[in-house]
Amino acid sequence: MNIKKTGLAALLALAVLTSMAVPAVAQSGDELADKSVTVDGDTESVYLEVTNTSGDNLNYTVYGISDGLSDEVDSGTISSADENDTTRQEFVANSEEYDEYRVVVTEDASDSDEESADNIEIGTTINQSGGGGGVFAGVGGGGLFTLTNGIIAFAVFGVAYVAGFLDPIKNALGQ
């Protein structure tokens, strides 16, 4: 009879654990977006934009991925309930710790309605800070005398010479 009580207790414990696990699975909701973006030293942030949601919040989860392993780095809700409204959420990218980020957007399964959005966009923003500098900032500094600007000036001068725009200058130098 002790075996029957032990088996019954184990079955009861399994039923309790199973009933507790079911709501956690049901909370995830239907997946609306799932996208991974690669980050590097130039990446400033990862963003999530939603346009014209159905009025209720959408759930999002952000994972940092490194060497195939993922860590949850952020989660929350986002909504843009007004017509033609876009809401943007940004997450600082840590390219030293993660190679890419994965953003998953789901509808809220805890209520009886279904959430949606006209558009869900996931992407990255790039660090725009340049070296700056003055006129002679060099090749990568963004100054006036850069390699690109030199090539453009040479091309413009060549076209002007061939087109004859410099004939008055040639005539003036020849006399």
Q: What are phi and psi of 162, to 5 degrees?
A: -65, -35
Residues 27-126, CATH architecture: Sandwich (2.60)
CB-based contact 137:146 (threshold 8 Å): yes
**Which pLDDT value is given to residue 88?**
92
2 vs 9, 13, 18, 54, 121, CA distance in Å? 10, 16, 24, 56, 60
Q: What is the CA radius of gyration of the chain?
A: 30
Tokens of 41: 């030293």
Residue 23 has pLDDT above 50, yes or no: no
58: CB partners within 8 A, 6+ apart: 32, 50, 77, 78, 79, 105, 106, 107, 108, 115, 117, 120
Which carries the bigger pLDDT value, residue 175 or residue 43?
Answer: 43
**Where exactly are the structural domains of the chain?**
27-126, 131-175
- Summarize pLDDT for 92-118 with one digit per residue, the tens: 999 999 999 999 999 877 777 778 888
Name the pLDDT band for 130 (thresholds 50, 70, 90): low
Whole-model pTM: value is 0.57
**Which pLDDT value is given to residue 3?**
54
Highest mean pLDDT among 27-31, 59-63, 79-83, 142-146: 59-63
Task: State percent of the chain over pLDDT 90.
Answer: 32
C-alpha 155/C-alpha 54 separation (Å) is: 54
Minimal CA–CA distance to 66: which of 100, 41, 89, 42?
A: 100
